[in-house]
Amino acid sequence: MSELVPGGNLPLPEGAVTVRVAGPFDVSALVTDESGKVGGDADFVFYNQPSAPGVRLSGDTLTVDPRRLREGAVRVTVVVSPADPATPLGRLPVPVLEVTRVGGGPLARFTPPRPRQETVLLLAELYRRGDGWKLRALGQGYADGLGGLARDFGVDVVDETPATTEAGASVTTGPGRPASAPPTFPAAPASRSHRFPAAPPGSPEPCPRAAPPTPPAPRPAPSSPDLTTFLTLVNSARGRAGSPPVTLESRLTEAARAHASAMASAGRLGVEGADGVSVFQRVTATGYAYITVGEHLVSGPRNPAEFVEYCLRTEQPRRTLLDPAFTHAGPAYVSRGRSGDTYWTALWARPLTTADLTRTADEVVALTNRERARAGLPDLAVDHHLAGAAQAYSTDMAVRAFYSHTSPEGTQPWDRAAAAGSTRRSIGENIACGQRSAAEVVEGWMNSPGHRANILKPDFTHIGVGFAGGGPAGTYWTQLFGA
């Protein structure tokens, strides 16, 4: 089973899959075409409308069969919101997505960053790619409820109590959500209530679960690992693929060892350890700043040869190991007590330099302007005030481990732009996390209706881009638009 991070994706097998989010949440889905819009209100699957062609909602589980979707459908977006609308997502457990093949085993699991002010999360999407379908983890939040999200996707929504914002503001209050007056979603019918399923007749009363026994303390493998052998095997494979060699970096190795130990202690693989610290936070805690990063989190291989062999025979791990963008590596594995199970963390990165940061921001601007040119719109010019604000915000999200258009202090994009010296009359913002390149992040924004609307807004004339590595998601991106 794959553990996904925001922006991560994997191919889906043919046939139907189930998508489950257990807990005090409402699960819904939006079926969209190439335009990013629904074909009609029937494409919104939720508690009051639990089915559409190819999609069925039953309790906390969606069953999606891409072969049976309506004609023209290319994407199914999975959405979660609190079952009790009065309870913010930030006060609930983190919604965990579990994807399983119908009639088969588990395929993927995704734990998004903990929500803060958001009231709705776009948790994942199933999308057509060529002749097949893929799953992409999102973890993007909306701050104005299901109504704002549904309207962005083209669902007719009746406003009940229009809100107001600062005059002249055109800012996203959810990911890519331009909101001059965020709508509210109509209240649920009075007859609707939400409760967890009752125990079947005759079932014993539920009782508190005993705390699991404390697992044996992990111990480093004797060679932890044989770094010379590891490097020789890796660079031999990279050479055959035409990729430049990597060198070992002690800070990456330190972070890898800490994360492998955390996984061994918990007895499970995960981007975030039982201590609540992500593998990316462990990297930045060592003082290593990166412009791009990759990771292998693997259990089973007993030595470097078995680990590299596993990576080379598996598609996504092979791509990471051979990625020509990486220049540094740091591997470690730890055995779990008497069981002898091994937990590997291998980190791959390219260090952050001023030149790389400038190049990455320039690539985002160039790709954004290419999309505008395709729509017949003029290029956006770089504004250094907007760029400074965008860079500061990406860094803030990475350092303080949050992901929202609203900062923990309550500042909005226009506040941050003004504080950086911008005098633009209208401000828009796109944010993203988890993507590993400029091309990947712009593609993701263009595949999201709200983000796309900001990129293609005719009124915008200027742009600033920010990027930072770290935090629970690994990478944080910001686009600020101004007019």
Residue that is written with structure tokens 């601007």 in the block: 365
Beta-carbon neighbour count of residue 188 at 10 Å? 14
| CA separation for the pair 197, 191 (Å, rounded) | 17
List the pLDDT tens digit at each of the 483 positions of the chain: 678 877 778 889 888 999 999 888 889 999 988 877 788 777 888 877 788 899 998 888 999 999 999 988 999 999 998 887 777 787 888 889 999 988 778 888 888 887 776 778 888 999 998 889 999 888 877 665 666 566 667 665 443 333 332 222 223 222 332 222 222 223 222 222 222 222 222 222 222 223 333 333 443 333 444 888 999 999 999 999 999 999 999 999 999 999 999 988 888 888 888 788 899 999 999 999 999 999 999 888 888 999 999 899 888 889 999 999 999 999 999 887 555 688 999 999 999 999 999 999 999 999 999 999 999 999 999 999 999 999 999 999 999 988 888 898 989 999 999 999 999 999 999 999 888 899 999 998 998 888 899 999 999 999 999 999 998 889 999 999 999
Could you give the C-alpha distances from 76 to 30, 85, 125, in angstroms and in order? 6, 23, 5
DSSP string, 82-122: ESSTTS-GGGSPPPPEEEEETTS-EEEEE-PPPPSS-SEEE
CB 122 within 8 A of CB 149: yes
Enumerate residues 6+ apart whose C-beta is below 8 A from 72: 33, 34, 39
CB 245 within 8 A of CB 239: yes
Side-chain-facing half-sphere of 323: CA atoms under 13 Å: 23
pLDDT of amino acid 371:
97
* Pairing of the two strands 106-110 and 2-4: parallel
The pLDDT tens digits for 355-408 are: 999 999 999 999 999 999 999 999 999 999 999 999 999 999 999 988 888 898
Query: For residue 210, with 0-12 CB atoms within 10 Å meaning exposed, 13-18 middle and 19 or more buried, which class applies?
Result: exposed
Nearest to 463 by CA among 338, 364, 339, 397: 364
- Contact, 325 vs 260, CB < 8 A? no
Q: How far is CA 19 from the centre of its chain?
A: 16
Predicted pLDDT at 308: 93
Look at residue 467 in the predicted model and tell me its pLDDT: 96
Q: CA gyration radius for the chain?
A: 23
